[in-house]
Structure 1
Amino acid sequence: MKLPKMKTHKGTQKRVKVTASGKLMLRKAVPKKMRKSKRTLYATRGDIQAHKTVEKAIRKNLPYS
């Protein structure tokens, strides 16, 4: 008897990167009302590491990472 396959959550897969060392990297959000131009905001946005409180929930959505 085979077990059912674990499914990867596609929304999480598109938003989270797993580094080679196993860290979860998220996109850094940009506030809606800012005085700087959008071009400079999106250029400096970058990635941030996922907080340890939400890491367990993210890893549950990405079973093969």
Structure 2
Amino acid sequence: MIGIKNNEDLLESEGILSGFRLAHLLRKPIIDGNFDLKHPQKIHKFIFQDEFYLISIEIFIRKSYNCL
């Protein structure tokens, strides 16, 4: 767990983690591709790989505070 307690923490974490992944790709392009449809899909998956984990935390937070 990365200490997310509310929606503001969640949004901040999403930005930090996605920014980290994007900076990583800019510094060292590790995704090969032919610039077809699969190529941007691989890039998107790499940048936002933490989002599914964060979404599950958001659902937990919203349920805990009856926000759903």
Could you say which structure has the larger radius of gyration? 1
TM-score exceeds 0.5? no
Structure with greater helix share of residues = 2
Scaled by the length of structure 2, what TM-score is found?
0.26
Scaled by the length of structure 1, what TM-score is found?
0.26
Structure with greater strand share of residues = 1
